[in-house]
A and B are shown apart, each in its own frame.
Chain A
Amino acid sequence: MSLEQPNAIEVRNAVKRYGDFTALKTISLSIKDNEFFTLLGPSGCGKTTLLRMIAGFEDVTEGAIFLYGEEIEGLPPHKRPVNTVFQNYALFPHKTVLDNVAFGLQMRGNSKADARKRAGEMLELVQLSQFAGRKPSQLSGGQQQRVALARALAPQPKVLLLDEPLSALDLKLRKAMQLELKHLQRETGITFIFVTHDQEEALTMSDRIAVMSSGELQQLGDARDIYERPCNMFVADFIGETNLLDVSVDRIESGQAICHLGGGHALTCPSVEEVSAGSKVHLSVRPERLFLTATPDAGNALKASVRENIFVGTDITTLVDLAGGPEIIIRTSNSERGNQRIFDPGTPVYVNMEHGAARLLVD
């Protein structure tokens, strides 16, 4: 550890309490240098609290936070080399765009001329040079958002904190900004910590994601890990769309769990540590990892009948009823190969799972 580059941020057993209410329950995580790291969770999960603790706006009740190996608890916000992009931008309304961006540089001791010159360069980076002399209120939401970004990046912070910065933008602009943010992070090489409740945003941009819920860290991993190998019910349900089925495990054979679900359907899937014969667990399988056939395919094939096909542009969503069991959602891509797997409502079909698509989850 000591020979390696220290982590950009290391949160060690951090707890945050407001009176009797515990906002964060003993969180530990480390964020690597030059990483695009996302704190993801529903509102009230403690993600913003954690971000504000790193920024210095909230103190740490217990535990410690380290910035590149140095403990930062006790340093007021204006002495921490981290900058924040606020949810509603918090641009200074009486200052011009250029002076907004130059503010941090001036506060760090740059001369006014130098600060303005570098602020101008930052505005160029976010393509807002022609608006330098305007007031924030004269800009659109997307432009204000880019000014906020330029302002926070200008003093070259060691870590950039972003508190749901895209939530106020419309969908199209949000998508464009997601890519722009990702590119900016690559270009500047600054560690980004991004807070969002939007799982798609998190999956698109992040190197690693920490999924949080009710003040606890649920899972930490890259987008693939989180999406394909959720470690619990909350993560499976919160990230993307999934089919959660109640199953009972009959036996375990060489790492494979043989289970059955309501209606007598049997299926086999990779077992996990906590599961043993006889346990009642949940099975999560993503809709796009399922496909329909007229005759049973090899492996798991569950007898069902098509209820409805819903056309959603890129995909077709099919609802099927398992014979004597629950409803299942299947997503098929709207392509030539995919369209061969679409059946009319009422047709008896078999639901097949791609290899390794099913995942067992314990409560």
Chain B
Amino acid sequence: MAGGATSGGNAVTDTYKEARNWLLLPAWVTLGILVLAPVLLMLVYSFLTKEFRGGVIWEFSLAAYDQFFFDRGLFGDDPAKIEWTYIAIFWRSIWQAGAATILSLVIGFPTAYFIATRPEKQRVIWVFLITIPYWVNLLIRTVSMRFLLRDEGPLNSFLMTTGLVDAPIHMINTNFAVQVGLFYSYLPFMVLPIYAAVERYNFTLSEAAADLYANKWITLRHILLPAVKPGVVAGCILVFVPSLGSFLAPDLLGGAKNFMIGSLIEEQFKGNAGNWPFGAAASMILLTMVLIILVIYARAQARSDKEAG
């Protein structure tokens, strides 16, 4: 009986598996063309030799990575020293993206909480309002932001007419402006996942905590936050990762001094001055960093789940 059942089961399983493979094919093709192929292309290009007017010579070379990490002098024959320029740009990018993430979280969490606790009919309207700016192209919004923040822009005129400041505050081409740009661009990516998590949250749990003598702060910290953590993490990743690689906000609002990775990479592929292998190498390093961060997070999550379970 066991044998018959097993062989019958296998036949069914095989058919099922075959069908499943065919059904998964479109997804694999899409992923292959849109994700794997470009990344592989980038990986290959990063190991090629640069051509001086852009483009590449098909010859294996580690020059791009070498240029990123080491300084060998003007003619390339000095003893290798660590090259800090690009590492500093990476560091600034991480710092900027991290700050933008924290800022978005601080503003986005209360916003999401506010929306999720409105009556059901109002929530749709609030979510709709949050997404309205996305109907306008990011480039246009960033340029408008540049206009807003200018020395003679509306924000400074307002501050001066109200008498809050005597001279315009210089905001454009500063880290502050980049922060504002990143924060404004990616805030909805923080708000929406947190909103979804808070909306699913069972508020009776907060009542239970209050009933058991927990004040508002402890209820938020120990009951609400653990319950909506997946939404918070999703929001942070969705803000941090694109902020790290963004180039519109740093380019248009940060100016030359506040270079970020995204701009560095963009430069390498622009016009004749570029260095494709170097741009590809920088992209690969950025990608590796993001992957490391995600893996660390996934590990930590698995560990805490294990401890909890």
Contact = CB atoms under 8 A, between A and B. Distances in A.
To the question of whether A and B form a pair in one complex, the answer is: yes
A94 B308 contact: yes
B7 to A, nearest CB: 36
A152 B210 CA distance: 12
Interface string B291-309: 0000000000000000011
Contacts of A91: 208
A84 interface: yes
Given A94-B227, A135-B309, A55 B211 contact: yes
Contacts, number: 59
A91 B207 CA distance: 11
Interface in A78-109: 78-79, 82-84, 86, 88, 90-94, 96, 103-104, 107-108
B214 A92 contact: no
Contacts of A151: 212
Nearest to B213: A107
Nearest to B210: A77
A103 B213 CA distance: 9
Contact of B207 (A77, A108, A152): A77
B211 A83 contact: yes
Interface in A143-171: 151-152, 155
A78 B213 contact: yes
A55 B212 CA distance: 11
B207 A57 contact: yes
Contacts of A108: 213
Nearest to A135: B309
Contacts of B308: 94, 96, 135
Contacts of A155: 212-213
Nearest to A80: B211
Contacts of A345: none
B205 interface: yes
Interface residues of A, number: 26
Contacts of B207: 57, 77, 84, 86, 90
A324 interface: no
B205 A92 contact: yes
B204 interface: yes
Contact of B204 (A56, A82, A86): A86
A346 interface: no
Interface string A123-137: 000000000000100
Nearest to A96: B308
Interface in B203-241: 204-205, 207-215, 218, 223, 226-227
A342 to B, nearest CB: 50
A78 B212 CA distance: 6
B213 A84 contact: no
Given A103-B209, A107-B214, A107-B218, 13 more contacts: A56-B210, A57-B210, A77-B207, A78-B212, A93-B205, A93-B227, A103-B212, A104-B213, A107-B212, A107-B213, A135-B308, A135-B309, A152-B212
Interface of B: 202, 204-205, 207-215, 218, 223, 226-227, 308-309
